[in-house]
Amino acid sequence: MGTYYLPRNVKGENRILFIFTTKGLIYTVVAATIGLLFYFIFSMLGMTIVGIIIVAVFALIGFAIGTLKVPELGKFEFAKKTGGENIDDVIKRAIKFKTKGKKVYVYKEGKNND
């Protein structure tokens, strides 16, 4: 039996420590840094354990945003439109939509009907 090369799209799949992509690691570090602010506040109040839990929760949220994709669910209209896209891309697009005055521009390719 011969060995065959199966091509696949590996763009952006470099992994760090087996679970982190570069983008996922950046989002995790940024979210954990935000959580560290809460850690310092709670540690001054004597609630160090609560601060550590908040840092872990923020890091987990950052990891999820940077790594996971929106599931393709047929029951929800939101998931039909954004199914399979990265969560961070959906969030970025929603922020742009809110800041640009809630306008959507649709461009048609092909024949121009004047």
Q: Is the pLDDT of residue 102 over 80?
A: no
pLDDT reported for residue 103: 67
Calculate helix-pair angle for 48-67, 22-44, nearest 10 degrees.
Answer: 160
Query: What is the SS3 string spanning the chain?
Result: CCCCCCCCCCCCCCEECCCEEHHHHHHHHHHHHHHHHHHHHHHHCCCHHHHHHHHHHHHHHHHHHHHCECCCCCCCHHHHHHCCCEHHHHHHHHHHHHHCCCCCCCCCCCCCCC
Mean pLDDT, residues 19-48 taken together: 89
Query: Mean pLDDT over all residues of the chain?
Result: 78
The model carries a pTM of 0.65
Give whichever of 4-8, 20-24, 45-49, 90-94 has the largest mean pLDDT. Answer: 45-49
Q: Which of 68, 41, 73, 37 is nearest to 55 (CA)?
A: 37
